[in-house]
Structure 1
Amino acid sequence: MKQSFRAKRMLKQNQRLAQSSKLNLVALMDIFTILVFFLMVNQSDVVVLPSNKDMSLPQSVSEQLPREQVLLTVTGNGVLVQGKPVWRGDWQQAPELWQEALTTAVQQELQYLASRAAPLPAEQQAVGRPLTILADAATSYAVLRRLMAICAATEYRDVSLAVEQRSSALEAKP
């Protein structure tokens, strides 16, 4: 039986589509090479500070990105330096009950970290070592002031407070 022109065309098309496609590895390698370089260049733009889900940072319009430095975290029931718990207590107690223990514990840990770091150059002696305080928005000012005084007494005078950056849409509203 003779096949029609349409049947022949459909048969050829089915045979052509039934062939397995070939993967062009050269183009794929080019894409991955470009992707690797792109990720390497752009990975340093994002700095994420560790935080608890229970902690809400105060909002600000800070333009500076956080740097790699000592991180002092103030939680609802204690203080952590570089993720290591150094003091546990209740902030609601009278300040006389927690101030001395807090001062001793935090000073010891900061002095230990300073002893392990390289000595400060002469031009950086006045500024001191850098430190970031990560505290909840509800943390009292008296606690923050006390912690900043402790840090200043142990060569950590370049103190930064971690904040959550406010979006530009919120800045426009009064």
Structure 2
Amino acid sequence: MKSSHKIRRIERQYVQGGRSVPINIVSMIDIFAILVFYLLVSIAAVEMRPNPDNLQLPKSTSNDRPREAAQLMVTQKEILLNNVFVMSTPDAIAAEGDVLAALNAQFEEKIELLPDARTNEKTRGEINILADKKIPYSLLKKVMSTSGKARFSRTALAVTQQKGAVR
């Protein structure tokens, strides 16, 4: 009986079964290097979301990611700078003027002035304000005025991204 070309090829491969195809190790090293690089970048891109239960951030369609900066939380009960108590919220609301003295003192004590490469002036850098959505605007204005007086070069307000927002 005549064997077809396909059957002869299969038999030939079966007979030569002891011989294996060499693995290209350079390609494997490249793939693993890319995989390790991707994992390192992914780990570095993990964002920290400090959102305690007693703080409800306002919703927004903003797509900007928060930067690493000093963190000021304004809850219904207290004001915290980098998770350290500064003053109570009712005291801040009752305070006279646009600048909160206790908060300004904490800024002066805890966050040092650094030279700004763009303006050649000393600033305290950036600050992220996480304010409860029920905080009155007058208090938010006092907090932002105080951060401006303390020479923060950039102030960012933290929000929760709305569902359905375009990324």
TM-score range (shorter-chain normalised) is: 0.5 to 0.7
- Aligned-pair identity (%): 26
* Aligned partner of residue 51 in structure 1, secondary structure: coil
Deviation readout 1:59-100 (Å, 9 max, x if unpaired): 101121000001100011111011111112526x9x4x4347
TM-score, scaled to structure 1:
0.65
Contact kept, 8 Å, 2:111 with 2:124, in 1: the verdict is: no
Instruction: Pick from 129, 132, 142 the counterpart of residue 146 of structure 1.
Output: 142
Q: Which has the higher helix share?
A: 1
Aligned pair in 2 of structure 1 residues 34, 83: CA closer, same or farther (>3 Å)? Answer: same
Contact kept, 8 Å, 2:116 with 2:123, in 1: the verdict is: no
Please tell me whether residue 77 in structure 1 is matched to residue 77 in structure 2.
yes
The runs of 5 or more residues in structure 2 that have no matched partner are 1-28
The runs of 5 or more residues in structure 1 that have no matched partner are 1-29
Contact kept, 8 Å, 1:127 with 1:158, in 2: the verdict is: no
Instruction: Pick from 106, 111, 129 the counterpart of residue 109 of structure 1.
Output: 106
Q: Paired residue for 1:118?
A: 114
Matched residues in 1 for 2:86 and 2:42: separation? Answer: 35
Q: Paired residue for 2:155?
A: 159
Counterpart mapping for 1:25-174 below 5 A: 36-90=36-90, 95=93, 97-99=94-96, 103-115=100-112, 117-123=113-119, 125=121, 129-168=125-164
How far the C-alpha of 1:104 sits from its partner, in A, is 1.4
Matched residues in 2 for 1:45 and 1:88: separation? Answer: 34
How far the C-alpha of 1:124 sits from its partner, in A, is 6.3
Contact kept, 8 Å, 1:89 with 1:98, in 2: the verdict is: no
